[in-house]
Structure 1
Amino acid sequence: MNMTQARVLVAAVVGLVVVLLYASIHKIEEGHLAVYYRGGALLTSPSGPGYHIMLPFITTFRSVQTTLQTDEVKNVPCGTSGGVMIYIDRIEVVNMLAPYAVFDIVRNYTADYDKTLIFNKIHHELNQFCSAHTLQEVYIELFDQIDENLKQALQKDLNLMAPGLTIQAVRVTKPKIPEAIRRNFELMEAEKTKLLIAAQKQKVVEKEAETERKKAVIEAEKIAQVAKIRFQQKVMEKETEKRISEIEDAAFLAREKAKADAEYYAAHKYATSNKLAKEYGCIYTLYFESWSTMVFYEYKAVKEALINQGVKFLGRGHITMIDDAQKRYGMF
C-alpha cells in the first residue's frame, strides 16, 4: 500500500466517523422529551433537553412537546338538524402533555397522538353538536357555548383514554354558511337591532313619562302639604282667636257678675237699711269738717252723741245731719 492509498483510507475512515457521529448525536429542545425506537420498538426511557448520543441507523427518536401547544383543526364540515351544511373555518385547541404520561401516550397513540385524541375527537363532537341543533342555534343562539362544550367533551374522554393530557382551552371561529342564508341572517339581525333600538327608545320614553309623573306627584304632594300646613295654621289662628274671645267673654262675664253682685249687695243692704229704718227710725249720718263720718239710728241717738261730746262741738259751726232713708238735712 503506497502513501496515496493510505491517505485515501485515512480520509475515508475519518469521514465515516464524522458521519456516524453526526447520525448518533442529537439535540432535544427545552420543553420537549425524546422517545427512542430501536428496531421499531419503543424504548422505556425518554431523554430530557440537551445533547444525546444514540446508535446510528439502528435507533431513531421523536421529540414530544411537554409545554403548552396549540393544535389547529381547519375547515370542519358540520350538518345541522335542518339539513344545512356549514363549515367551521378554524378550531384551536390549547393542550399540554405531562412528562410522566409521555411514554404511555406515545406507546398507545404514537408520537402523533394529537391527531387521534384531538383532531378526530373534534370532528366527532362538533358533528354531534350540529346535528342536535338548528342553524339558528348553532350560528347565533348557542354559538357562545360551543367552545366550552367541546372542551368538556374532549377532557372527559381524555381522562379515560389518555390521563396526563389536559385541554386548556378551545376556540372556535364563526361558521361559514351559504351566502343566501347569511344575507337572511344579516337582515334578521338588522331587524332585531331595529326592534331592540325601538324597544330601548320606548323604555326611555316610558322612563321619562314615569319621571314626569313622579315629579307631578311630588309637586302635588308638596302643594297638598303646604295647603295642609296653611289650613292647620288658619285653624290654629281661629282656635287662638276663639280662645281669646272666650277669655274676654269670661272676663266680661266676671266683671258683669261682680258688678251685678255689687249692685245686688248694695240693693240688699239698702233694703235691709230701709227695713231697719222702719223698725228703729231713721238712720242719720253726721258730717263735720275733717271728722270721721258717724252713722246713728234715730234722732235721739244723734242728740245723745252730740251732748256726750260736750264742748267739742261748741263753736264748731254747722253740723250736717242726713236722714239716709228720707235724704233729709237737719241743722244743729
Structure 2
Amino acid sequence: MNNAGTVALIGAVVIFFVTNFSLHKIEEGHVGVYYRGGALLRQTSSPGFHMMIPFITSFRAIQVTLQTDEVKNVPCGTSGGVMIYFDRIEVVNILSPDSVYDMVKNYTADYDKTLIFNKVHHELNQFCSVHNLQEVYINLFDQIDENLKTALQRDLTVMAPGLFVQAVRVTKPKIPETIRRNYEMMEAEKTKLLIAEQRQKVVEKDAETDRKKALIDAEKVALVAKIQYEQRILEQESLKKMAQIEDEMHLAREKMQGDAEYYTKERLAEANKLLLTPEYLELKRYEAISSNNKIYFGSSIPSMFVEHCGVQSKETKLPEVVLPEVPLSNAEEMKKGFKQAAQGSSRTASVKT
C-alpha cells in the first residue's frame, strides 16, 4: 500500500515536471520556433499553448509586429577628423511571419543585431566619412534619417527578404564642447540676423502698407476729382443745351413774330391794293390840296388835277392869286370852286392878251 502511494506520488511529480517543461505559451504577435539538440526545426507555432519534449526541445518567440530597435551611442568620424556621437538611433521595422524560419535559420533569433544594429553603425560611418562637421551637424542633418532608411532597406531586400524598415529617427549628434559653443554662438548670431531680417521685412511691409494706403487715397481723390469734373462737364452741357433750347425758342418766337408781321403787312398791302382805287386816290389828292392855305393859278392850273402834270409855260406868267381861307364842306364843293377859279383865270389871261 505504501509502495503504491509512493509510485503514485512519483508519477504525479513526473507528470507535473513533464507538463511544466513541455507546455509553453506563444504570445499574440509572435511566432514560435523550436530547437532540438541545437538544430532549428522547421516547425513553427502560432500564438497559444503548445507542447514540446522537455529538456530536449527548446523554443524562441519571434516578434512579427512593428518593433523599434534602439541603437545607442554610435561613434562617427567626419571627413575633417572630428569625432562625434549619435546618442540614439531608432529603427522601426517589421518581420513577415512567412519569413521567420528563413530569417532565424540565416541570422539566428537575434537577427536584428546583425541586420540592423551593425548595419546602422556601418552606414553612419560611411556617411560621416564623406562629409564635414558642418554638413553632418547642420546642413545635411535632416537627410540622415532618410538616407539611412534607404541604405538599410536596400541591403535587407537582398540579404533578408521579408524584413522591412518603416522609419528611422536620428537624434542630434554630440560634438566636442568647444565646437558646440562656437556653433551656439554662430546660431545666436544667425538668430540675431534673422530677427534683423524679420524686423526689416516688417518695416518694409509697413512701408508697403503705407504706400498702398497712400495710393488708395490718391486714387480716391483722383476718382472724386474725376467725378466732379465729369459733373461740371455735364452741368456745362446741360447749360449749353438749355441755352440752345432758349435760342431755338427765341428764334422760333422771332420767326413767328416776323411771319405775323409779314402776314399783317401782306394782308395790309392786299387791303391797300383793294382800297387805293383811282377814285380813292383822286379823293385823297383833293383832300391834300384843300389843306393848303395858298393856291397858285395859271395856265397850267387845270392840269393840277391831271396825273403827271407838266411845267408852266414860259410865255405866260400867271399872277399869284391868294384865295381867302374858306373852309369847304366836302371835296365836291372844293373841286367845284377850283374849276370856277380856273375859268376866271382863263378869262383874265385873255383880257391881258
TM-score (norm 1): 0.74
Moved more, 104-113 or 185-194: 185-194
Partner of 2:120: 122
Amino acid at match of 1:115: K
Matches within 5 A, 1:309-324: none
Task: Single out whichever of 115-124 and 225-234 deviates more from structure 2.
Answer: 225-234
Q: Deviations over 1:286-328 (max 9, x none)?
A: xxxxxxxxxxxx659xxxxxxxxxxxxxxxxxxxxxxxxxxxx
1:233 maps to 231
What displacement does 1:55 show?
3.2
Q: Which segment drifts farther, 112-121 or 34-43?
A: 34-43
2:125 aligned partner, one-letter code: N
Instruction: Output the CA distance in 1 between the equivalents of 2:263 and 2:93.
Output: 125
Separation (CA, whole Å) in 2 of partners of 1:112 and 1:88: 23
Q: Which residue of 2 aligns with 1:176?
A: 174
1:121 Cα offset (Å): 0.9
Residue deviations 1:41-73 (CA, integer Å, cap 9, x gap): 211102233443433443333222222222111
The residue type paired with residue 238 of structure 2 is T
Q: 2:40 is matched with which residue?
A: 42
* Equivalent position to 2:211, from 210, 213, 221: 213
Query: What CA distance in whole angstroms lies between the structure 2 residues aligned with 1:330 and 1:124?
Result: 162
Match of 1:134 among 132, 135, 144: 132
CA distance in 2, matches of 1:273, 1:98: 136
Does 2:107 correspond to 1:103?
A: no
User: Matched residues, percent identical?
Assistant: 65
Distance 1:260 1:21, change over 3 A: closer
Alpha-carbon spacing, 1:282–1:41, altered in 2? closer, same or farther (3 Å): same
What's the secondary structure of 1:91's corresponding residue? strand
Per-residue CA distance 1:97-150 (angstroms, 9 max, x = gap): 222111101111111111111111111111122223332222223222222222
- Residues 87-102 of structure 1 correspond to what in structure 2 (within 5 A)? 87-102=85-100
Which residue is equivalent to 2:242? Answer: 244
Q: Secondary structure at the match of 2:91?
A: strand
Is the 2:283–2:331 contact (alpha carbons within 8 Å) kept by the matching residues of 1? no
Q: CA deviation at 1:155?
A: 1.7
Which SS does the other structure have where 2:80 is aligned?
coil
When structure 1 is superposed on structure 2, of 217-226 and 258-267 the one drifting more is 258-267
Task: Give the whole-Å Cα distance in 1 for the aligned partners of 2:193 and 2:331.
Answer: 128
Q: Distance in 1 between matches of 2:120 and 2:158?
A: 16
SS at 1:115 equivalent: helix
Unaligned runs of 5+ in 2: 285-328, 333-353
> Cα offset for 1:262?
4.9
- The 5 Å alignment of 1:138-153 reads 138-153=136-151
2:221 equivalent in structure 1? 223
- Secondary structure at the aligned position of 1:107 is classed as helix
**Quick one: which of 55, 64, 69 aligns to 2:62?**
64
Indicate the structure (1 or 2) with the bigger Cα radius of gyration: 2
Q: Which amino acid aligns with 1:27?
A: K
Change in CA separation of 1:299 and 1:82 when aligned onto 2, cut-off 3 Å: same
Q: Does 1:112 align with 2:129?
A: no
User: Structure 1: which 5+ runs fail to align?
Assistant: 284-297, 301-328
Secondary structure of the 1:44 match is strand
1:225 deviates by 1.5
Kindly provide the amino acid, as one letter, of the partner of residue 67 in structure 1: T
Q: Structure 2 counterpart of 1:212, which letter?
A: D
- Name the amino acid aligned to 2:145: D
Cα distance in 1 for residues equivalent to 2:18 and 2:11: 10
Secondary structure of the 1:63 match is strand
CA contact (8 A) 2:42 2:101 kept: yes
State the superposition RMSD in angstroms: 3.5
Residues 231, 9 of structure 1: CA spacing in aligned structure 2 closer, same or farther, 3 A cutoff? closer
**Larger relative strand fraction:** 1
Query: In the aligned structure 2, how far is the partner of 1:262 from the partner of 1:29?
Result: 129
Q: 1:15 to 1:243 in 2, by over 3 A?
A: closer
Q: 2:163 maps to which residue?
A: 165
Q: Distance in 1 between matches of 2:20 and 2:273?
A: 169
User: Does the C-alpha gap of structure 1 residues 182 and 259 become closer, same or farther in structure 2, counting only changes over 3 Å?
Assistant: same
Mean Cα displacement is larger for which, 269-278 or 136-145? 269-278
